[in-house]
Amino acid sequence: MRELPELSVHHADPSTFPPGIAYMDGQYLPIGEAKISVLDYGFLHSDATYDVAHVWKGAFFRLEDHLERFFSGLEKLHMTIPYDRAQVAEILHNCVALSGLQNSYVEFICTRGMSPTFSRDPREAINRFIAFAIPFGSVANSEQMEQGLHAAVTPIVRIPPESVDPTVKNYHWLDLVSGLYVAYDQGADTAILVDTSGNISEGPGFNIFCVTDGKISTPKLGVLKGITRQTVFDICREMQIECVAEDVPPTKLKRADEVFVTSTAGGVMPVTKIDAAPVGSGSPGSITRRITESYWRMHEDTQNRMVVEYPAMA
């Protein structure tokens, strides 16, 4: 047997994981012990759907909306799991409670799994449910939340909705990752992709909004219907700010007074530079700040909260 070369830091498994708890195969276990088979079609083919909720100050935010989207995705992809919504909610609660995390990123997944005979017929596969809770993470770090992200509009075209339904959360990220590398080469923090018509689409894990003369626009086609995106619509309705889903050409985005992005991973995050040019004044705008403040206030509203019951400490 030939001697293998010494592994570099990029090819070695450091066996380090963030703190957290996972659920799979009917049991709760440390996040570092949660593994799937290399034969799972979720791994081999990205044949899976998932959703991400978050816990803030010990309570889930809009969990029912995330569950609704997840179960809708299961139906559209012809997948089934042995749990109903209440049972999935309980599993997610347990993952967070056992982790002890007050602020948590909570992901739940259904993979196509595999068939006992490794059949390529997806109807023969046994679907698999997995969930986990780890510390809360954000698209933008604390400095970027304060000063704003630098985004690059890339020529990378987002997978068209005629190919993959964007309303079903999925792991088809190679277009998004390609966009990130284009953005990094330009010195930007993150990427914005376009649709097949050349209009603004979305970025890696976030929806995009722009503010022009007090009116807010967000792309309408080929994008995930984000829960935070919908929350911005709700906030704008309460604030009596016009917010519409429509085609957003790159020129409109670059000439906007304000730009922000939204994600469960971070909430509402300002963008203050696009393609190395400042957005508006080059600082987070007043409307973005108002919406951000309202978004976090909504976390205190009992109708949006689902409190986690943590085990009593000895």
Give the 3-state DSSP-derived string for 22-62, with helices as H, strands as E and coil as C: EEECCEEEEHHHCCCCCCCHHHHCCCEEEEEEEEECCEEEC
Angle of helix 63-76 versus helix 227-239 axis, rounded to 10:
130
3-state secondary structure at position 266: coil
Residue ranges per domain, the chain? 21-135, 142-299
- Which residue has 């000439």 as its token pair? 255
Q: Which residues contact 263 (CB under 8 A, 6 or more apart)?
A: 138, 139, 205, 206, 207, 226, 228, 269
CA distance 287 to 216: 9
CATH number, domain 142-299, options 3.55.40.20, 3.40.640.10, 3.60.20.10, 3.20.10.10: 3.20.10.10
CA distance 179 to 125: 33
Report, in angstroms and rounded to the nearest whole number, the Rg of the chain calculated over CA atoms. Answer: 20
Angle subtended at Cα 9 by Cα 48 and Cα 265, rounded to the nearest 5 degrees: 40
216 CA to centre of own chain: 22
For the residues of 53-95, what is the DSSP string, one character each? EEEETTEEESHHHHHHHHHHHHHHTT---S--HHHHHHHHHHH
Single-letter amino acid code for the residue at 267: G
Q: What are phi and psi of 41, to 5 degrees?
A: -70, -15
3-state secondary structure at position 177: helix
- Tens of pLDDT, residues 53-73: 999 999 999 999 999 999 999
pLDDT 10s per residue in the chain (314 long)? Answer: 777 777 666 665 656 788 999 999 999 999 999 999 999 999 999 999 999 999 999 999 999 999 999 999 999 999 999 999 999 999 999 999 999 999 999 999 999 999 999 999 999 999 999 999 999 999 999 999 999 999 999 999 999 999 999 999 999 999 999 999 999 999 999 999 999 999 999 999 999 999 999 999 999 999 999 999 999 999 999 999 999 999 999 999 999 999 999 999 999 999 999 999 999 999 999 999 999 999 999 999 999 999 999 997 64
298 in Cβ contact with 238 (< 8 Å): no
CA distance 135 to 143: 19
Q: Which residues pair with 300 in a beta bridge?
A: none
**What pTM, to 2 d.p., does this model score?**
0.93
Q: Please give the CATH topology (third level) of the domain spanning 21-135.
A: D-amino Acid Aminotransferase; Chain A, domain 1 (3.30.470)
CA distance 141 to 188: 14
